[in-house]
Structure 1
Amino acid sequence: MPTERATLDQSVTVRRGQGHTLRVTAVPAIHRRLLDLCQPLDGSPGSTAVPAQRKARREYENRGSALAR
């Protein structure tokens, strides 16, 4: 996870609406790994994620999927 940590350390947090958006510039493989690490936010059974967290993860995944095409 050192590569992911380095990517997050270089990212920029932007205030947007009611929350914060984390801008991460990285190759698609890093974005896929970050999505894998936040998998519990997808609403799986036993998850403690709130709706806003699930939505944020879903939108991040959708943006990443659109870029990979």
Structure 2
Amino acid sequence: MIGVLIKQRKLSDEVAAHLERLIRKGELAEADRLPSERELMRQFGVGRPSIREALLHLSKMGLVEVKS
């Protein structure tokens, strides 16, 4: 049997990748507001820490601006 290393992605990485695709495709425009954290949690079926980590990642990439 050949050993295969499969890297497991974090939930926040999956959320960030999905949102990044929507932004880059233009489905989310620059002036659009993202849904609330609560709504994103519901849509993606993940907890608040995963959403916050994903948004922080997108913020560091310059794709979103996070406001309190």
Asked if these proteins are the same fold (TM beyond 0.5), I'd say no
Normalized per residue, the structure richer in strand is 1
Give the number of the structure whose alpha-carbon radius of gyration is greater: 2
For the aligned pair, the TM-score class normalised by the smaller chain equals 0.3 to 0.5
TM-score with structure 1 length normalisation?
0.36
Normalized per residue, the structure richer in helix is 1
TM-score with structure 2 length normalisation?
0.36
Higher relative contact order (CA 8 A, sep 6+): 2
